[in-house]
């Protein structure tokens, strides 16, 4: 395993949950520590190998967006600076290497059990349903759309949060039944506002934000934006210079990994389920480069390994 990759943490705090990518710890009744590892999943299967710098990219992209969104939306981030995290939680000092660049100290919030998806282009599961039925979450869309067509205005397309497998698209009426009309309206308004800002910010940088998902939580009577924000994992980023509707688009995330796994599946060397095949070094490297490229394009600067305390990959 590369010195720049981290598959799992074991910190001296109570573990709240270990997801596909994040290890979440309780600091106290008011705060959480979220560590984004370099684990990676594709087709709902977590790979054995980790992708160097992936966790740092997701964490630092989120921190960058939240800084841009300051004053526009309330959020849960206290700090993503390792020194500040250790100063706040001194027991973490011996674990600096595991935290470096990958960790966020956050406020606790009561999570709204929905993925607030905004679709600015029709692709993925939305395209599949539209192609077969002319609908999204059972509601009719206009006729004549092509794969990857731009949607104006974007569509608020919430989904249930699935612990395993795929999230399920649901209708606005189902959201209202789940959380009430007032909260549903707030969620849609916030999600649209953040997406429109993200789309307008990314486009001049050569990135199309095709779709994205946000999560929110209640704290002190206010909705906070939580978890990751406009990252290559929570969003579909397309290179603008190659965009052409009528087909699928390459993306700035795990495309090299997906492409390789597709070949393995078609060749009969993998059945699409766990356990996954062993990833060759060139696929790991190509995927890592893709994530770092997305970071540099979005923020306007490469990932600063020295500032973050991360080693160069060898």
Q: What is the pLDDT of residues 71-89, one digit of tens each?
A: 999 999 999 999 999 999 9
Mean pLDDT of 45-53: 96
> Mean pLDDT over residues 189-214, rounded?
97
- The pLDDT assigned to 314 comes to 63
Span 286-301, average pLDDT: 95
**The pLDDT value given to residue 166:** 63
Q: How far is the CA of 68 from the CAs of 72, 74, 158, 201, 231, in angstroms?
A: 9, 12, 24, 10, 14
Per-residue pLDDT at 165: 55
Region 158-175 average pLDDT: 80
Paired tokens of 37: 């590892």
pLDDT at residue 167, rounded to an integer: 73
From the number of C-beta atoms within 10 Å of its C-beta (0-12, 13-18, 19+), residue 45 rates as: middle
pLDDT at position 1 is 46
Summarised one tens digit per residue, pLDDT across range 102-153 is: 999 999 999 999 999 999 999 988 999 999 999 988 889 999 999 999 999 9
Whole-number pLDDT of residue 192: 97
Whether pTM > 0.85 for this model: the answer is yes
pLDDT of residue 164: 55
Instruction: Name 167's Cβ contacts closer than 8 Å, sequence gap at least 6.
Output: 115, 159, 160, 161
Rounded to the nearest integer, the mean pLDDT of the chain is 94
């Amino acid at each position: 395993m590369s010195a720049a990759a981290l598959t799992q943490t074991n910190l001296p705090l109570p573990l709240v949950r270990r997801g596909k990518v994040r290890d979440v710890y309780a600091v106290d009744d008011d705060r959480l520590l979220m560590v984004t590892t370099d684990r990676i999943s594709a087709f709902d299967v977590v790979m054995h190998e980790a992708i160097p710098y992936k966790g740092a990219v997701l964490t630092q992209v989120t921190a960058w967006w939240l800084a841009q969104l300051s004053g526009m939306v309330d959020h849960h981030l206290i700090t993503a600076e390792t020194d500040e995290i250790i100063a706040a939680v001194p027991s973490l000092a011996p674990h600096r290497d595991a935290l470096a660049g990958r960790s966020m100290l956050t406020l606790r919030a009561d999570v709204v059990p929905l993925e607030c998806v905004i679709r600015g282009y029709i692709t993925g599961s939305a395209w599949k349903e539209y192609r077969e039925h002319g609908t999204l979450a059972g509601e009719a869309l206009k006729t004549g759309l092509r794969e990857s067509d731009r949607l104006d205005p974007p569509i608020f397309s919430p989904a249930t949060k699935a612990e395993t497998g795929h999230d399920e698209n649901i209708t606005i009426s189902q959201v209202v039944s789940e959380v009430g009309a007032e909260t549903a309206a707030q969620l849609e308004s916030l999600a649209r506002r953040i997406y429109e800002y993200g789309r307008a910010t990314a486009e001049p940088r050569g990135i199309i934000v095709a779709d994205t998902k946000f999560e929110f939580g209640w704290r002190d009577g206010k909705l906070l934006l939580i978890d990751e924000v406009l990252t290559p994992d929570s969003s579909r980023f397309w290179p603008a210079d190659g965009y052409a509707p009528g087909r699928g688009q390459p993306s700035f995330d795990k495309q090299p990994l997906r492409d390789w796994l597709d070949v393995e599946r078609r060749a009969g060397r993998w059945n699409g389920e766990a356990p996954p095949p062993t990833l060759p070094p060139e696929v790991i490297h190509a995927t890592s480069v893709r994530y770092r490229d997305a970071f540099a394009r979005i923020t306007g600067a490469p990932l600063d390994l020295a500032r973050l305390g991360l080693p160069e990959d060898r």
